[in-house]
Amino acid sequence: MQFATQTTFTPWTSLGGGVLIGISAVMVMALFGRIAGIAGISQGALGGILPWPAAARDRDWRWAFLLGLIAAPLVVLSLGGAVAQSVPDNMPLMALAGLLVGVGTALGSGCTSGHGVCGLARLSGRSLAAVATFMAAGVVTVFVIRHLLGGM
């Protein structure tokens, strides 16, 4: 198993991305009265599209949001930018990771974007507990992988 050997600090790109995420979260709340958490949006989009007839107003904005997530890197590429992404080649480990993310999202009543971006902005105690938990889990995971399992 290979791990990334170096990370790149990109303050301006990161700031721009954060501003765009914040603007989209505010727009979703202002226009639709909904939280811009990816788990809730995707569940609502898939749950709103598959059983017909679904409320078109609620279904359409969810699909537009999800399609925007897919279209954004394509726009960057078409403008000559680069989109760096690496995916481990260990499929069983990726399947386990995906399962754990799904279980955590269900147990935490939301995902990192819903709790971290929107919940904290609304001063939600439940979101504060969720963010503290997943940040601590991330710190422990990086420590175990990098220092106990011999990665980077």
pLDDT band at residue 60 using 50, 70 and 90 as cut-offs: confident
> Nearest-CA neighbor of 113 among 31, 56, 28?
28
How far the first Cα of the chain sits from its last, in Å, is 11
Look up residue 78 and give its two tokens: 């078409």
User: Taking Cα atoms as reference points, which of 145, 107, 118, 97 lies closest to residue 23?
Assistant: 118
What's the whole-model pTM score?
0.65
Last-in-domain residue among 85, 102, 130: 85
pLDDT at 116: 87
81 & 137 share domain? no
Q: What is the mean pLDDT of the chain?
A: 80
Q: Write out the residue range of the structural domain in which residue 43 sits.
A: 9-85
CA quadruple 144, 39, 25, 134: dihedral, nearest 10 = -20
Claim to verify: residue 69 and residue 13 sit in the same structural domain:
yes
- Number of domains into which the chain is organized: 2
